[in-house]
Amino acid sequence: MGCIRICGKVILAPIVIPYKLCFRRKRPTPHSNNNIRPSLAPPPPPPFLSASTYSNLNDNTSQQHQQAPSFDSQQPSPTLPLPTADYEVFLSFRGPDTRHQFSEILGLFLAKNKIRTFLDDNELRQGDRIAPSLAKAIEQSKIYIPILSLKYAESKWCLNELAEMVEREKRNDGHIILPIFYLVEPRDVGHQTGPYEVAFQQHARKYDAKTILSWKNALQRVGKIKGWTVKSKDEHATIIDRVSSVVWSHINRSEDLLGADEFVGMDDHVEAVMEKLSLDSPGTIMVGLHGFGGIGKTTIARVVYHKLATRFERRCFLEDVRTTQEGKDGIISLQRKLISNIMITRDSDPGYVDDVHRGRKLIQDRVSQFKVLIILDDVDERFDFKEVLGDPRKFVSGSRFIVTSRNTKILRSLNENQCRLYEVRPMNRKLSLQLFCRSAFQGNAPLPGYETLSQEIVQRTEGVPLVLKVVGSSLLREEKSFWEDTLLRLGKIPHKEIIERLKISYESLDYEAKQVFLDIACFYIGRRKDFPSYMWSDLGFHPVTAITILTQRSLLKIGDDGDLQMHDQLRDMGRAIVREENIEQPWMRSRVWDKKEATELLQNMKGSNQVKALVVDDAYDNVGKLKRQHFLNLPKLRYFEAQQVEFIGDFINILPNIRWLCLPLHKSEGHHPINFPMENLIILDLNCSSNLQDDWGGWSQIKVCCASLVLVGPH
């Protein structure tokens, strides 16, 4: 996805740029100046890879990240600056031993797993100490992988780095060492025998006893760590695959991905689910987590998923299955994500899934050959396990599946009626108070003077984690009178009415935050926050402030890529608020997201001043060609999205308030409207107009009519 400014004042918008995840210090080249400059040309393929294989690996590792170029040092320098991005893995090796046989391909595979890796070629070192820039790379990295080869101990730089790794590992601050013993035995490393004994005989003549002792202690420590032993080149592929899998699992451990409040009350749930998984038993086992929305099923599944990271060869978390199935090519989208995660490929790689049957066959033929952990989150009655993944009994013995749902009937029917059920019950009073206080006071206990109020509010929430967090967040730093009013309102809500409890937090928002919340709930979940922010700003809103308020009150989350995320209970609440504007007449509501209702609205040429946003999905998109008369009753429409329609005819004085337009634009003349009102258009979404070229006739109208425009699309 990318965006660009057409004319007028400059608009800065994000553009996805490939990022080389694997950085390696290059050899200095002679006869050149001292400037450090990026090398734009890709490096040649290493001898052990064909050019095509190397190209594919580079393609796979460069997506969805900002580029950090390699640097050429024109003179050898121990302080050569490193890219600013933090590293996750520090790979230490002696170049002549393993560079072209093992180390570089391991680095490529780690990068293919989207792991930021620093490859340190120790042959480029000068001096006896670790340079500050290199020490920083070691400090940043969470995982150290020393490749201990036959002549590793001959390099003082290798030994200095190893000593530094061991020293940091001893501090117990999250650093771990995963050694690879390459054509050498761990006992030779630990006891400095064989080739390592010879190396230290040479070092004894050059270095002091304290330095020698630090190196020996480091080797002794690493020699005791369980790692991998490579005894022949035939084992390269197998070992590299195992290392990549284990490293990826360590990188994604749960304590790094989940907030502290997510672990409140988790221990008993996790222990019960682990018991039902029977990890030491053979065969394929499926566990179903059930309970009403907001009770914590997804959080429990996620904690278990990361806790078991190192127990499986591959794993995949398919979240929000129910919503994904509702979308276009829903089952295919699920299959693509599963295959991509398990096989570590991209959709454009060989094996691309373009129909359900092909996807199921690939899963049964290839994915099922790994010992996998697969989470299927939030499934409903439309989900058919065998249709999506095939027969679970064909997966490798030891594979495990966790399925979450609000519907126990669905879970009971899975895996030949052998799915083991676990009911997620509400939190007890003690844990509820702790979770509430994390949000309301940012601590584990109420502040003085708020003890009784906190206890009474917690009692009204009935132990539902989502309600505890949302209500607690809405009370953070508020006056006691606001707390008392919230307690009174909670007391008027019938038991089990979760959405009504959540609505109390919504009603305390100001007008702008409410409008932004409803827009996101109806249309923008999963989209990057930047793009609707342009529209909100143009409407006079303050999107940064509104989004901050929503996140502070736990009504919204921002993903790692800046995408807007919302719990399905909160989404349903937002849509219920809009639906209640007029139950019987959708054209009298502010937002129409239901595709069938939107299609009928256009076909019958209905509308009102209330309608601000409208989406027509291709599942119901039988409207065909849209003319001015279809929009006569929609003067306030600011957002319109459709997949299979055409705007034709003269649109003069129609849709004066349109700010966001997403529809297919056609290359041929005569297929774009005349006098289309684009003076207020902010976002033109071209994701469904992939065949447009620079010579498209509509560009001239866009350039003339727009003072400022952001294009969003595949180009």
- Residue with token string 């009415």: 497
CA proximity to 98, closest of 147, 139, 59, 49: 147
State how far the Cα of 523 lies from the Cα of 571, in Å rounded to an integer: 10
Comparing CA positions, the residue from 588, 587, 675 lying closest to residue 627 is: 675
Q: What is the pLDDT of residue 699?
A: 58
Half-sphere exposure of 158 (CA within 13 A, CB side): 26
Q: Where are the alpha helices (DSSP H) in 37-151?
A: 51-61, 95-98, 104-112, 132-140
Q: Quick one: which H or E segment has residue 144?
A: strand 143-148
Q: Which residue has the tokens 């989900």?
A: 383
Query: What pLDDT is stored for residue 690 in this prediction?
Result: 55
CA-closest candidate to residue 112, choices 73, 56, 167: 56
Residue entry with tokens 């439309």: 382
How far is residue 299 CA from its own chain's centroid?
Answer: 15
Pair 546, 516: CB distance under 8 Å: yes
List residues bridging with 53 in a β-sheet.
none
What DSSP state is assigned to residue 113? T
Residue pair 153/196 in contact by the 8 Å Cβ criterion? yes
Euclidean distance between CA atoms 505 and 607, whole angstroms? 31
Q: Which two tokens stand for residue 338?
A: 């599963």
Collapsed DSSP state (helix, strand, coil) of residue 133: helix
Q: What is the DSSP letter of 282?
A: -
**Annotated catalytic residue 123:** no
Rounded CA separation 442/42 (Å): 49
Distance from C-alpha of 602 to C-alpha of 558, rounded to nearest angstrom = 34
Residue spans of alpha helices (H) in 91-194:
95-98, 104-112, 132-140, 156-170, 186-191
Cα 60 to Cα 22, 345, 348, distances in angstroms: 12, 7, 10
pTM for the complete prediction? Answer: 0.59
How confident is the model at residue 177, as a pLDDT? 93
Burial environment of residue 237 by CB neighbours within 10 A (0 to 12, 13 to 18, 19 or more): exposed
Residue 9 contacts by C-beta under 8 Å, 6 or more apart in sequence?
Answer: 708
Query: What is the reported pLDDT for 423?
Result: 92
Distance from chain centroid for Cα 539:
30
φ, ψ at 495 (rounded to 5°): -60, 145
On the 0-12 / 13-18 / 19+ scale of CB atoms within 10 A, 598 is buried
| Contact of 57 with 49, CB cutoff 8 Å | yes
CB 365 within 8 A of CB 389: no
| Concatenated DSSP letters of 317-368 | EE--HHHHHHSTTHHHHHHHHHHHHHHT--TTSTT---SHHHHHHHHHHTGG
The whole-angstrom separation of Cα 66 and Cα 17 is 5
- Give the long-range contacts of residues 31-34, CB within 8 A, separation 24 or more: 32/72, 32/74, 33/74, 34/74, 34/75
Residue 450 phi, psi (nearest 5): -115, 10
Token reading at 568 = 């399905």
Question: What HEC string does 513-578 produce?
Answer: HHHHHHHHHHHHCCCECHHHHHHHHHCCCCHHHHHHHHHHCCCCEECCCCEEECCHHHHHHHHHHH
Give the Cα separation of 606 and 242 in Å (integer). 60
Question: First and final CA of the chain: distance in angstroms?
Answer: 7
Sequence-separated (6 or more) residues with CB below 8 Å from residue 478: none
User: Quick one: which of 93, 95, 83 has its CA closest to 27?
Assistant: 95
Mean pLDDT by 10 residues, the chain (715 residues): 40 34 38 34 35 39 34 30 60 84 84 76 50 78 92 91 90 84 93 93 92 94 92 87 79 54 80 93 94 88 86 88 84 90 59 82 91 93 90 92 90 83 92 92 91 92 88 91 90 73 86 96 92 92 93 85 87 91 93 89 89 76 71 92 77 86 62 71 74 57 60 60
Distance CA 647, CA 651 (A): 9
Sign for the CA dihedral angle at 290, 295, 301, 307 comes to negative
Q: How many CB atoms lie within 10 A of CB 408?
A: 14
Query: Residue 435: which H helix or E strand, with range?
Result: helix 429-440
> What is the spatial order of strands in the sheet that 372-379 belongs to?
314-318, 372-379, 400-405, 285-290, 420-423
Q: Which of 154, 161, 164, 169 is catalytic?
A: 161
| CA atoms of 43 and 31, how far apart (whole Å) | 19
Cα-only R_g, the chain:
29
Q: What is residue 252's predicted lDDT score, i.e. its pLDDT?
A: 60
Q: How many helices (H) and strands (E) does the chain have?
A: 29, 24
Contacts of 41 (CB under 8 A, 6+ apart): none
| β-pair type (564-565, 557-558) | antiparallel
CB of 134 within 8 A of CB of 167? no
- pLDDT computed for residue 705 by the predictor: 52
Confirm if 140 and 87 have CB atoms less than 8 A apart: yes
CB atoms under 10 Å from CB of 505, counted, come to 24
Instruction: Let me know: does 331 contact 389? Beta carbons within 8 Å.
Output: no
